[in-house]
Structure 1
Amino acid sequence: MAASAPAPASVSVPASAAVSVSAAPVDAPARTRGRTGPVPWVAMYHSVGDRRDDPYRITVTPDRLAAQLGRLRRRGLRGVGVAALLAARARGEGRGLVGLTFDDGYADFVEHALPVLRHWGCGATLFVLPGRLGGDNAWDPLGPRKPLLTADGVRRAAAAGVEIGSHGLTHVDLTEADDATLTAETAGSRAALAELIGAPVAGFCYPYGTVDARAVEAVRAAGYTYGCAIDPGPLTAPHALPRVHVGQRDTAVRLLLKTRLHRWRRRPAAGV
């Protein structure tokens, strides 16, 4: 299983290299309203660890993550959390920054991903499920059960400077949820996470990447200042930001193409 795979020596971090990147103020995206510009480039990761049994191709090894972040840094780019990215863009200081997100809150994030992020001086947003803390990815019908972070693991990530966002309570497709479930998955999960980490929660990530106008309005009404989807199409806006999947197969050439082609695939959007 991914959580028990040993961390390779190539990503070990000396104490002097540890970097904690603080999250931006949670109201930062609101200050971008009324502006129009290219949609920010945001990478979507999931699990970091053992990928031998990975039918959904959601896992990257620590070595591959380290290589990908290293390539970004050598190109003059640095990964940050989404709130930090949007705040920097609002100040006119977003050049050279890209967003890094990790969905589902797998337990291997603290063990494998966090040391790599520290080594390369990168921040990230971790989207977790407060209704499944200490559980597993029961929503996936195929593949192995991957353990999720416990409450203590989420607090450890937050203490390290990782932005904590909500992925809903239990990983429900919001486009198929009834009104009560929709409120619980958006407003309820935000309140639970704020209590867990002792800080406001700015960001939401739509489970399965599925989004419609009703889900976007629920996320906005719950008090989130931004939302991450995958490919929201005409809904693209601060509460429906597109992201680019980055996986194990993304070597230097593929990663370069994904960063270069993003600007041509996405239309400008107000407020991002």
Structure 2
Amino acid sequence: MRILHVLSQTELTGSEVYAAALGAEQVAAGHAVAYVSDKLHVPVPGELHAQPISRRRWPQRIKNIIYLRRLIAAEKIDLVHAHSRAASWICFWATRRIFGRSPNAAAYVSTVHGRQHLHRSTKAYCVYGQRMIAVCENVRRHLEQEAGFTKERLSVIPNGLSFNEWPVRSAMPAGLTISLLGRSSGPKGVRAAAVINEMLPGLLEKYPGLRFNLAGGPLKNYEDSTRANLSMLAEKYPGRLNICEYVPEKELSRLVFESSLVIASGRIAIHALGRGVPVLALGESACHGIVGEANLEEAMASNFGDILADTEARIDIAAVAAALVGFCAKPSEVAASVAMRVREEYQLKEVAAAVESIYFQALLEKRLPERLPILMYHKVVEPEYSSPHKTYITEANFAKHLGVLDRLGFSSVTFADLEAAALGTRALPRKPVMLTFDDGYRGTHRRALPLLKRHGHRAVFYLLGDRARAANDWDNHDAESALISDAEVRELSAAGMEIGAHSMSHRHMDRLSLADSLQEAVDAKAKLEALSGQRMISYAYPYGSLSADAKRAVRTAGYPFGVATDSGGLSVAEDPYHVFRVNMFPHDGALQVFKKTLGSYRGYYRRKRGK
């Protein structure tokens, strides 16, 4: 995938550091990455195209749009990722079809780092792309409830950090060191100035051993009175104030590690907590006090003080002062559970995987047909067979289904084809249809495979990873319950059929823990890939039973798709881990095949059945 990150940086911010770190993970995963921004202050793993994205005068905006459209076309960009309000506006028009022309089929997503300015055009058209990534729950709530964006387009994925080189601190450092870290501009600069002017003099006087670090932005952003106060304190308490402006990542890491307490929000607060360093979460909009088990969820929801769900900033300076005095009087370590939770929630590798799934979803929406019929079969049987489950079709009737599909002009595709189409490496046929078979019955292999070959169709066969299981023992056992052998699996693969996973044990995944669901998905993937020689691209939830944990497990295990039975999105792109399939029943004839392959059928089914 060729990814273009677009920013509007004029000073160092957490969004820039995150975009650089995310790009490094993407390069490590085999993607090509480039950046467009006014300038960048940290090294990035791809080429930087300098462009004044932050300038909002109309002539420059138009120049930026033209520049970006040409760059997208020239570099064959697959995915554009905007990281700021100014960048989002430019990216919207740069990826949009204008006067019948489009730079290419590049998908577009935005990461939204804070509250957005709301005006008429916000609801008239959404400039944030096909999918919006909110960095915390409060941003998501703001975008849904105030901006009016649909929840289906929104995901919460925090700005991640790589904690691999930063172990959790085992003990508090000797002495007492407080570090105030963050930008010196905007609302954060105002909060920092309040600490410097109203709290720092008293703390330095009351605690003779206290050392104070100030870092993150140029002093020129502070008012003259604040700069004068810092000079006076440095002279009065020599050697106890360490004042930096911009500091490289390694130096910032050292300051955090050597601190007794870090006053910060956003990325720096996450960094500190993940290393076991106490944090007073003070941001643009709120102060949560010293972060612990009791207020961690609330702090995470606001990105540690930067974003509230409403517009009213709630910062009680007296409460901030009280929290500082209380900590200095009795320093305390971060609870191990807090440090571990932060490391789990913000681990960059997991964040990058979640972002990539959003990219893939946007590409599916951009490059796949809006409606693609996916038909679901189980057993293909002899005419005399009968079962109360109605999950079978006779060999003769299945042959009729294939004939109808041929006459309607359909060409069969697999999930590998959908993935390739989304990534731009393979085009789909004019009228695609997908045929799927669950459970992997021996009779289905014997009867369906010759018919599929005769009609030139391919299908996806969902099999259990537990290869010792010889028959369906979860339904009523009958003569058609035998499951295919390993040799027959290899025969399917050699015939061009796609193999998908159907769990290890055919249990209801909505009843399993996340750990158990993940084990089912991971083990089935390993077994079936080794057996078939194919990469597992899709996972069929047994019984169509799924939950948020089940979907997360399938994504974490490395499947691009998860398929249900008779529930899911209106399109594959709406939720690639909850793909709707059409049940095909024993007595479905030509008319039912025609009806169930119509583009309007999925919407009709939802209106009729409510799912």
Q: Shorter-chain-normalised TM-score: which range?
A: 0.7 to 0.9
* CA distance in 2: counterparts of 1:97 and 1:117, whole angstroms: 15
Residue of structure 2 equivalent to 1:5: none
Among candidates 562, 571, 590, match of residue 227 of structure 1: 562
2:454 aligned with 1:119: yes
* CA distance in 1: counterparts of 2:469 and 2:487, whole angstroms: 9
Q: Secondary structure of the residue that 2:597 maps to in structure 1?
A: helix
2:213 aligned with 1:213: no
* CA distance in 1: counterparts of 2:387 and 2:487, whole angstroms: 26
2:361 aligned with 1:33: yes
Q: Which moved more, 1:45-54 or 1:100-109?
A: 45-54
2:509 aligned with 1:174: yes
* Gap change, CA 1:145 and 1:62, over 3 Å in 2: closer
Q: Deviations over 1:116-161 (max 9, x none)?
A: 0011100000000021455111011465561001111111111111
Among candidates 224, 236, 251, match of residue 589 of structure 2: 251
Unmatched tracts of structure 1, length 5 or more: 1-28, 268-272
**Contact 1:53/1:144 (CA < 8 Å) preserved in 2?**
no
CA apart distance, 1:202: 1.0
CA apart distance, 1:221: 0.3
CA apart distance, 1:263: 4.7
* CA distance in 1: counterparts of 2:419 and 2:605, whole angstroms: 17
CA apart distance, 1:210: 1.1
2:377 aligned with 1:45: yes
Q: Please identify runs of 4+ aligned residues in structure 1 that moved more than 6 A.
A: none
**Contact 1:82/1:100 (CA < 8 Å) preserved in 2?**
no
* CA distance in 2: counterparts of 1:118 and 1:63, whole angstroms: 15
Among candidates 133, 136, 145, match of residue 471 of structure 2: 136
Among candidates 457, 470, 494, match of residue 159 of structure 1: 494
2:519 aligned with 1:184: yes
* Gap change, CA 1:113 and 1:42, over 3 Å in 2: same
Q: Secondary structure of the residue that 2:482 maps to in structure 1?
A: coil
CA apart distance, 1:88: 4.0
The residue type equivalent to 2:376 in the other structure is: M
* Gap change, CA 1:127 and 1:249, over 3 Å in 2: same
For the aligned residue pairs, the C-alpha RMSD in angstroms reads: 2.4
The residue type equivalent to 1:43 in the other structure is: L
Q: Secondary structure of the residue that 1:126 maps to in structure 2?
A: strand
**Contact 1:134/1:147 (CA < 8 Å) preserved in 2?**
no
* CA distance in 1: counterparts of 2:503 and 2:557, whole angstroms: 12
Residue of structure 1 equivalent to 2:576: 238
* CA distance in 2: counterparts of 1:204 and 1:258, whole angstroms: 22
**What number of residue pairs does the alignment pair up?**
239
* CA distance in 1: counterparts of 2:429 and 2:580, whole angstroms: 17
CA apart distance, 1:227: 1.1
Task: Using structure 2 for the length normalisation, give the TM-score.
Answer: 0.37
**Contact 1:134/1:150 (CA < 8 Å) preserved in 2?**
no
Residue of structure 1 equivalent to 2:534: 199
Q: Secondary structure of the residue that 1:131 maps to in structure 2?
A: coil
Q: Which has the higher contact order (CA 8 A, sep 6+)?
A: 1
* Gap change, CA 1:237 and 1:157, over 3 Å in 2: same
* CA distance in 1: counterparts of 2:392 and 2:569, whole angstroms: 29
* CA distance in 2: counterparts of 1:197 and 1:120, whole angstroms: 23
**Contact 2:509/2:546 (CA < 8 Å) preserved in 1?**
yes
Greater C-alpha Rg: 2
Unmatched tracts of structure 2, length 5 or more: 1-355, 607-611
2:399 aligned with 1:60: no
